[in-house]
Structure formats: C-alpha cells, structure tokens
Amino acid sequence: MTIVCNTIQQLHNALNNDRFRNKRRGFVPTMGALHAGHTALIEASVKSNDITISSIYVNPSQFNNADDLKNYPHMPEKDLRMLEDAGCDLVFIPSTEEIYPDGIQTLDIHFGTLETVMEGAFRPGHFRGVATIVSRLYDLVKPDEAFFGEKDFQQLAIIRELARRNYPRIKITGIPTIREADGLAMSSRNLLLTPEQRKAAPLIYKALKQGQEFIPHHTPAAVSELITRYIEQSKLLRVEYCIIADPVSLEPVTDWNNRDEVRCCIAVLTEGPRLIDNIAYRVNPD
Ligand code: AMP
C-alpha cells in the first residue's frame, strides 16, 4: 500500500516508522498527472532501493507563466493508482503552505551557463525554482538516491550540479525518455494538446531522429535549421529553439571538431502547451 502524507509532520512520522527507518531510500519527485515516464522512474527506484518515496507537488516558483500553472493537469486518484501499481511505498503531497511557510521564495543559487541557455533563456527563474523545491524535498525526505528523467535534459544537468555542490551523498540517476508508440515524448502537458496538435506533435521526434543523418555533412547550426524546417512543415508547430549542445556543459557547439557525442535540445510552441524534447547524436557514427 502506498502511504499518503500531506504534511511535513505526517511525513516525518512515517519515515520514523519501522517500515522506513534505516532503509535505503529512493526518491522520485513529480508534479503529478503521472504517465509511463514517471512509472519508469519509480520502477528504477524500486529495483535499487529498499523503499521508494515519491512526491506530487506543482511548484509555483518554477512556473514563469501563470496560465501554464493554472492549466497544469491534476488527477490525484489516477496518480495514486499508478504509484501503487509501480510499487511506490510513500507519496508526499504537500500544500504550498507546508512547502513555503514564509511565502513563495527561491534560493539565491546560480548555475552559470547551465541555467542561462535553452530553457533558462526562455523561462527566466525556472531552474532557481526547480533547485529550491528539490532542495526542500531532499531536506524533508533525506533520500539516498534520486531519479530524474532525461526528457528534461537541462534540468537533469542542474540537478547533478546541485547534488555535487550541496548534496554529495545523494546519488542522482537519470532515466531515458519514455515515448508514446508514435515517438512523442510522454509529458503531463500532452493532455492539453488538441486532437490536431496531438496528431502533429510526433513530427518533433521524427525530425530529431532525422538530424542524425545530417551529421557530419552540415554544421551544427545547419542541422538545427534543417530540423526546424522539418517541424515547421506543420502549421501547428513553431520551434522556439533547437540547439546542439555539449552534453555536459550545455554550451552550444559550433563545429564537430573533437566531439564524440552531442545533445540536440528543442522546445516547440503550439497554441496550447509548449513541448520539449532532446536526442543524443553520435558525431562519428560507425
Ligand atoms: P514532472 O512531473 O513533469 O515534473 O516530471 C517528474 C520527473 O519525471 C522528472 O524527473 C522528469 O524528467 C521525468 N519525466 C517526465 N517525462 C518523462 C518521460 N517521458 N520519460 C522519462 N522521464 C520523464
């Protein structure tokens, strides 16, 4: 049975219970509206830890768009069933008063290039909000290992840096992106797509896969341009950015010299939700 805790006190009591005390804790933070991407994280945690704790909290401090926050999908009963089925032991579903008793504030923490490129450039303050909530949750849950999806590739880089600096005892594990049968990266925001937008959206991953074929005969900028044109064949999709970056520093790459693998990261606007995705490219595929 998945135990549900809504307050810090309940969480504290549960974690001091025999079922949880002195056990290796895996932790999977989420914003709910769960899908198979989330359950892949839970299942990975169940495999390598004694107990698995998840959280569902739509963190206002990481939203830079009021409508995005207001429209974020919410389906607690289904989420709970999915957590049970995936083997999650405890889920923490706090209110904003529990998380931010002194009002919504973010840590004064900076990540240099990692937070200024791509998502950071288009969603100012987003990663500071992410670092704030993840730190708060780590302090409450005290996990041994935490799981995050590669779907949010830049977020994973920030999370690794946060752990390196402030939580060196927490092991960070990244999990590959889970996709729909047609290639669309699973996302809670996909629920907000109209049927027409949903039909067009698989073009994003199709274009990303196609990008590998363009290397190394085109510059990184030209590959980004070709991917953008491919996607914008659909009138319903507009590319906000498409950047080929170093997979660790996230610095945009300008040529293929001395590179083995790069990461292409993309954000696509629809008239509804904004979609992000990414893919690894081998620079010298054998
Ligand atoms: P979210 O609920 O969107 O904040 O996501 C919670 C966690 O699930 C984050 O670590 C995400 O990167 C991860 N995640 C979201 N979508 C996917 C996916 N399609 N495949 C793998 N992980 C995902």
* Rounded average pLDDT per 10-residue block, the chain, 286 residues: 97 96 97 98 98 98 94 97 98 98 96 96 96 98 98 98 98 98 98 98 98 94 98 98 97 95 98 98 86
Tell me what pLDDT residue 216 has.
Answer: 80
Ligand 1 lining (C-beta closer than 6 Å): 30-31, 37-38, 40-41, 148-149, 151-152, 175, 177-178, 185-188
Ligand 1 center to residue 83 CA distance, Å? Answer: 14
Tell me what pLDDT residue 285 has.
Answer: 73
Distance of CA 40 to the CA centre of its chain: 13
| Pairing of the two strands 261-269 and 145-149 | unpaired
H helix runs in the chain, sequence order: 8-15, 36-48, 66-71, 76-86, 96-99, 113-116, 118-122, 126-141, 153-166, 195-200, 203-214, 220-231
Q: Which atom, in ligand 1's list, is nearest to the CA of 40? A: 21
The C-alpha atoms of residue 271 and residue 159 are separated, in whole angstroms, by 30
Tell me what pLDDT residue 284 has.
Answer: 86
| Terminal-residue alpha carbon distance, the chain | 48
Instruction: Find tokens 């949750």 and name the residue.
Output: 137
Does the annotation count 38 as an active-site position?
A: yes
Ligand 1 center to residue 255 CA distance, Å? Answer: 31
Tell me what pLDDT residue 95 has.
Answer: 98
In terms of phi and psi (left: phi > 0; alpha: psi -120 to 50; beta: otherwise), the region of 268 is: beta
